[in-house]
Amino acid sequence: MKGTLIPNTDHISRYAGASKFIDGRVTGAAFMLRESTPPEDNLSVNWMEFLRKNSVVEEISELRCIFSKKMTVGSSARFVKLNE
């Protein structure tokens, strides 16, 4: 739902590989635009409430399922949840 405004009460998550963590805590690197060709214009995030699940555990499980269809989800990677 690119470009959709997310209500302030809702949450977003971002997939972060293991290299984005130090001592188990996420670093700011997880929220930087990737240096790619062409360069990214926007940060890719997931709207948690859009999934319409009953819990954060179910939302993360659904995200893992969705992501695993497109890429390898690392065993040390995490989905970092934020309030928008």
What does the domain layout of the chain look like in residue ranges? 11-83
Tokens at 41, concatenated:
């214009």
pLDDT exceeds cutoff 80 at 82 = yes
Q: What is the 3-state secondary structure (H, E, C) of the chain?
A: CCCCCCCCCCEEEEEECHHHEECCEECHHHHCCCCCCCCCCCCCCEEHHHHCCCCHHHHHHHHHHHHHCCCCCCCCCEEEEEEC
Average pLDDT estimate for 71-76: 89
pLDDT tens digits, one per residue of 6-60: 888 999 999 999 999 999 899 999 988 888 788 888 888 999 999 999 999 999 9
Residue 40, pLDDT score: 83
